[in-house]
Structure 1
Amino acid sequence: MITAKRLWLLATAAALAGTGLNAAIAQPAGSDVRAGIDAWAAQNYEEAIRIWRPLADRGDADAQYNLAQAYFLGRGVPQNMVLAEQWYQRAARQGHPEATANYGLLLFQNGRRQEAMPYVSRAAEAGDPRAQYVLGTALFNGDIVERDAPRAYALMSRAAAQNLPPAVSQLAEMERLLSPQDRARGVELAREMRTAPPPMQIAARPAQDPARTQTPPRARPRPLQDPPVRTATAPTPRPRPPAQTAVRASSVATVGGRWRVQIGAFSNEANARRAWSAAAGRLPGLRPSFVRAGTVIRVQAGPLADRAAALRACARAGNGCIPVAP
Structure 2
Amino acid sequence: MMNDKASGGLQHVSTGTTLSLHSTRSGIIARGRRDAANAASNLHYKQAVADYNAGNYIAAVQGFTLAAEQGHAEAQYLLSTMYDEGRGLARDEVQSAHWERKAAEQGHAYAQANLSFRYYSANDFTEAFAWCQRAAYSNLAWAQYNLGLMYRKGEGVQQSNTDAAYWYRLAGTQNFPEAQQKLADLYYFGQGVPLSYTKAAEWYRRAAEQGNAEAQFQLAHLYATGQGVEHDYTQSRHWIRQAAQQGHEQAQRELKHREYRDP
Place the TM-score, normalised by the shorter chain, in its bin: 0.5 to 0.7
Rounded to whole Å, the distance in 1 between the matches of 2:196 and 2:118 is 31
The alpha-carbon distance between structure 1 residues 84 and 268, as it changes in their structure 2 partners (threshold 3 A), is same
Rounded to whole Å, the distance in 1 between the matches of 2:14 and 2:196 is 29
- 1:83 partner SS: helix
Deviation by residue 1:8-47 (Cα, 9 ceiling, x = unmatched): 52x40x2x42xx3231557379222101111111110101
Per the alignment, residue 268 of structure 1 pairs with: 197
Q: 1:155 Cα shift? A: 0.9
Per the alignment, residue 23 of structure 1 pairs with: 15
Q: 1:68 Cα shift? A: 0.4
Q: 1:272 Cα shift? A: 5.3
Pick the structure with more strand per residue.
1
Map 1:2-21; keep pairs closer than 5 Å. 9=6, 11-12=7-8, 14=9, 16-17=10-11, 20-21=12-13
Alignment gaps of 5+ in structure 2? 23-35, 37-41, 210-214, 223-227, 229-263
Rounded to whole Å, the distance in 1 between the matches of 2:199 and 2:180 is 17
Pick the structure with more helix per residue.
2
The answer as to whether partners of 1:26 and 1:62 remain within 8 angstroms in 2 is no
Deviation by residue 1:70-112 (Cα, 9 ceiling, x = unmatched): 1122111112233212210111011122211222123223322
Rounded to whole Å, the distance in 2 between the matches of 1:118 and 1:34 is 31
Amino acid at match of 1:155: W
Alignment gaps of 5+ in structure 1? 185-265, 276-288, 300-326
The alpha-carbon distance between structure 1 residues 134 and 270, as it changes in their structure 2 partners (threshold 3 A), is closer
Answer yes or no: is 1:69 the counterpart of 2:81.
yes
Which of 88, 91, 94 is residue 100 of structure 2 equivalent to?
A: 88
The alpha-carbon distance between structure 1 residues 118 and 126, as it changes in their structure 2 partners (threshold 3 A), is same
Q: TM-score, normalised by structure 1?
A: 0.51
Which of 139, 142, 147 is residue 135 of structure 1 equivalent to?
A: 147
The answer as to whether partners of 2:188 and 2:200 remain within 8 angstroms in 1 is no
Rounded to whole Å, the distance in 1 between the matches of 2:49 and 2:132 is 27
Deviation by residue 1:238-267 (Cα, 9 ceiling, x = unmatched): xxxxxxxxxxxxxxxxxxxxxxxxxxxx97
Per the alignment, residue 57 of structure 2 pairs with: 45
Rounded to whole Å, the distance in 2 between the matches of 1:106 and 1:87 is 13
The answer as to whether partners of 2:64 and 2:75 remain within 8 angstroms in 1 is yes
Amino acid at match of 1:269: T
Quick one: higher RCO (CA 8 Å, sep 6+), 1 or 2?
1
Rounded to whole Å, the distance in 2 between the matches of 1:31 and 1:267 is 54
The alpha-carbon distance between structure 1 residues 267 and 164, as it changes in their structure 2 partners (threshold 3 A), is farther
Rounded to whole Å, the distance in 1 between the matches of 2:92 and 2:85 is 8
Deviation by residue 1:173-212 (Cα, 9 ceiling, x = unmatched): 2113335xx426xxxxxxxxxxxxxxxxxxxxxxxxxxxx
Per the alignment, residue 114 of structure 1 pairs with: 126
Q: 1:270 Cα shift? A: 6.4
The answer as to whether partners of 1:175 and 1:267 remain within 8 angstroms in 2 is yes
The answer as to whether partners of 2:128 and 2:156 remain within 8 angstroms in 1 is no
Q: TM-score, normalised by structure 2?
A: 0.62
Deviation by residue 1:197-233 (Cα, 9 ceiling, x = unmatched): xxxxxxxxxxxxxxxxxxxxxxxxxxxxxxxxxxxxx
Rounded to whole Å, the distance in 2 between the matches of 1:270 and 1:103 is 34
Per the alignment, residue 163 of structure 1 pairs with: 175
The answer as to whether partners of 1:65 and 1:99 remain within 8 angstroms in 2 is yes
The alpha-carbon distance between structure 1 residues 111 and 27, as it changes in their structure 2 partners (threshold 3 A), is farther
Rounded to whole Å, the distance in 2 between the matches of 1:146 and 1:23 is 32
Per the alignment, residue 183 of structure 1 pairs with: 193
The alpha-carbon distance between structure 1 residues 131 and 267, as it changes in their structure 2 partners (threshold 3 A), is farther
The number of aligned residues is: 190
The alpha-carbon distance between structure 1 residues 271 and 118, as it changes in their structure 2 partners (threshold 3 A), is closer
Where does structure 1 differ by over 4 angstroms across 4 or more consecutive aligned residues? 270-273
Amino acid at match of 2:174: Q
- 2:13 partner SS: coil
